[in-house]
Structure 1
Amino acid sequence: MSRALPQARPQAPPHPVPQRTRRPGYRRVPVRRILCLLPLAAVAVWVLQHRSLIGSGARQMLTADPWWLLVAVATTGFGWVAVSFARQGTVLERLPARRLFATQFAAGAANHLLPSGIGASAVNIRFMTGCGLTPARSSAALALYFLAEGVTRVGLLAVLFLAFPEALRLGPMLPDRSGALVLAVVVSGAAALVAGALLIRPVRRLARTFLCTALSDARSLHKRPSRALALWGGSLAFPLLQATGLVAVALALELEVRSAHVMLAYLAATAVAALVPSPGGIGSVDAALVIALVAAGAPVEAATSTVLAYRFITLWLPLLPGALVLGALVRAKIL
């Protein structure tokens, strides 16, 4: 006797997915469009706050030799190329060259929003993660870039100082007792915070992972001559081009200081200004450059005019185009 086959149970109709009903007049917030406009708004605020400095720098350029000013503009542009090579030298993967250059140009505008290069670092980490790198490897590449740039900048400063020991009268550049005390307290506090953070187990584990990744990537990079040349060549060329731009502006305004002394003054001033982080280096870099040029033998008025014109070319002139490129990169989802 055959068994009757069990009848299939009728399937319940699928539960209808509730559709979101929009309120009359409701529109979705264009978040990416707002992010694209943020750099332009920030630039507008910066320009309004520092319009006197911009006007002073522009007026100084009216009396300068235009050909030397063009040299300063060219060295500024080649500086972004040097940074692009140095950034490529920090990773094994080949980064898209045009996007990499555009990112370095846009990072200059982002650097005006946060102090001590945090804006440029955030842009570069976002770019590298968008190219497929993990956050740990992107951070390791950023640390390697800062290490290479710091080593080459200090090395150049040491070489020039040994070659021209009489170039700078360091008395005006050294802090007084109160300034030295404040600096010592700040450095000690920072060291205590870092040491306290390393006592926490998750932070210690994260730091160990980061160091292992950074050392592994650095060993792999230096086994490839093209990457090592890009890293150290770009890191060496960048401060040289920046210092050459200041020399060109000094020649345009007929500053009576030797070119090698101007380069030494630039490297010494940027090293001192790095201790006082500020957005775009506004205030700290300007004051340090004026003091360094005065220490190199320039009159105060001529040194101030040279610094204003130099900062107009390297800081204020690329600001609006950099903000436009930054907004375009955000809109294209590259950043």
Structure 2
Amino acid sequence: MLVVGVPAVIIVVARHTLAQSMHVLTTASPGWLLLALAAEAVSLTAFGMSRRGLLRANGHRIGLRRVLAVTCASNALSLSVPFAGTELAIAFSFRRFRRAGLDAATTSWALTVSWICSTSSLALLLAVGAVIGGAAAASVAGFVGAALYLLPGVGALLALRFDRVRVGAVTALTWLAGLSRRVVGKPEHGAAGLQRFLDEVTGTRLSVPGYARVFGLAVANWAFDCAALAFAIRAMGQPVPWGDLLLVYGAGAAVGSTGVTPGGFALVELALTAALTASGLHADHALAAVLAYRLVNFWLVVLGGWITMAFLTHPLRRGRSPR
């Protein structure tokens, strides 16, 4: 009910601005829109390359095309399901990479470190936006947002790296593993098997240049996605508010991560439009720019991802006969 009600209320309240923005969209520059689409494609590719760099730790081999296919499909799953989309996307990615021949420990480590790099790189961009932004309140909000994105990743990284930090996590996971084994019979080896698995995960490493490359690609993922927003603004004939752009972008990313609606639908549009309006754009032009951005950032990603999902999970593709 909430998933349907929230967007409906927003659309009714903002219907006049929405109608005006539709007219603005008809005058959009095709060239700038193509640049926005290209920037989004580079963003997704950078994320896939970042993941591949982690999955190839310990000498494993996996092609970029396979990683990009799994990434696109998992993104569609994450953006389509409210609340639990991220968890389902991680589970899907884990199964697909395991099917590609990677061991469970490397796959778990790669997905965890990928998440850490993603949240940390977004925190870095928000911190940069807070430094660039002139308004004190916006700068404070940027630093607070950066801290909120950074702290969970730091905690997970410490848990992976240092034995003492792992003690509390292992105790809780051991209890859960024992409970799960009693209820559903998994994991088969209980706490001992869990401990061996964690040892394998924490034993996975990359070189310092490898970590730097992965983190740089994670930054590129967010930076090119932000560039897509800038190109969408230019497509509406509006000047890009460069001083506030990263904080505007961060506002949309924060709202989208709540999972209240699929991919933050309607909520992200509202947050980005309000932030751009506060940065000096007229409301109808701001909303038109956001709608164009969300076309390449959300709708096309979801469409392409579900097409890829159908291809990956087709019975003939899996080498099985249709049921």
Q: 186, 191, 207: which one pairs with 1:222?
A: 207
Distance 1:214 1:267, change over 3 A: farther
Asked if residue 146 in structure 1 is aligned to residue 115 in structure 2, the reply is yes
Asked if residue 237 in structure 1 is aligned to residue 211 in structure 2, the reply is no
For residue 80 of structure 2, what is the amino acid of its counterpart?
L
Q: Distance in 1 between matches of 2:90 and 2:22?
A: 29
Q: 59, 77, 98: which one pairs with 2:65?
A: 98
Number of residues of Structure 1 aligned to a counterpart in Structure 2: 260
Asked if residue 309 in structure 1 is aligned to residue 274 in structure 2, the reply is no
Q: 279, 283, 295: which one pairs with 2:262?
A: 279
Q: Distance in 1 between matches of 2:32 and 2:136?
A: 23
Distance 1:167 1:286, change over 3 A: farther
Q: Distance in 2 between matches of 1:71 and 1:168?
A: 32
Which structure dedicates a bigger proportion of its chain to helix?
Answer: 2
Q: CA deviation at 1:152?
A: 0.8
Q: 74, 89, 99: which one pairs with 1:107?
A: 74
For residue 132 of structure 2, what is the amino acid of its counterpart?
A
Q: Distance in 2 between matches of 1:74 and 1:58?
A: 23
Q: CA deviation at 1:210?
A: 6.0
For residue 77 of structure 2, what is the amino acid of its counterpart?
A
For residue 107 of structure 1, what is the amino acid of its counterpart?
S
Q: Secondary structure at the match of 1:235?
A: helix
Distance 1:202 1:120, change over 3 A: closer
Distance 1:255 1:208, change over 3 A: farther
Distance 1:291 1:200, change over 3 A: farther
Distance 1:210 1:302, change over 3 A: farther
- State the partner residue of 1:185: none
Q: Distance in 2 between matches of 1:137 and 1:243?
A: 31
Distance 1:208 1:264, change over 3 A: farther
Q: Distance in 1 between matches of 2:118 and 2:141?
A: 26
Asked if residue 79 in structure 1 is aligned to residue 53 in structure 2, the reply is no
Q: Secondary structure at the match of 2:203?
A: helix
Q: Distance in 1 between matches of 2:242 and 2:295?
A: 20
Name stretches of at least 5 consecutive residues in structure 2 with no aligned partner.
Answer: 143-167, 179-190
Asked if residue 89 in structure 1 is aligned to residue 53 in structure 2, the reply is yes
| C-alpha contact 2:24 2:285 (8 A) present in aligned 1 | no
- State the partner residue of 2:34: 70
Q: CA deviation at 1:276?
A: 4.5
Q: Distance in 2 between matches of 1:59 and 1:302?
A: 10
Asked if residue 137 in structure 1 is aligned to residue 106 in structure 2, the reply is yes
| C-alpha contact 1:257 1:297 (8 A) present in aligned 2 | no
Distance 1:238 1:254, change over 3 A: same
| C-alpha contact 2:78 2:263 (8 A) present in aligned 1 | yes
Superimposed CA distance per residue, residues 120-146 of structure 1 (whole angstroms, 9 cap, x where no aligned partner) = 323321221012223343222211111
Asked if residue 124 in structure 1 is aligned to residue 93 in structure 2, the reply is yes
- State the partner residue of 1:201: 175
TM-score computed with the length of structure 1 as normaliser: 0.66
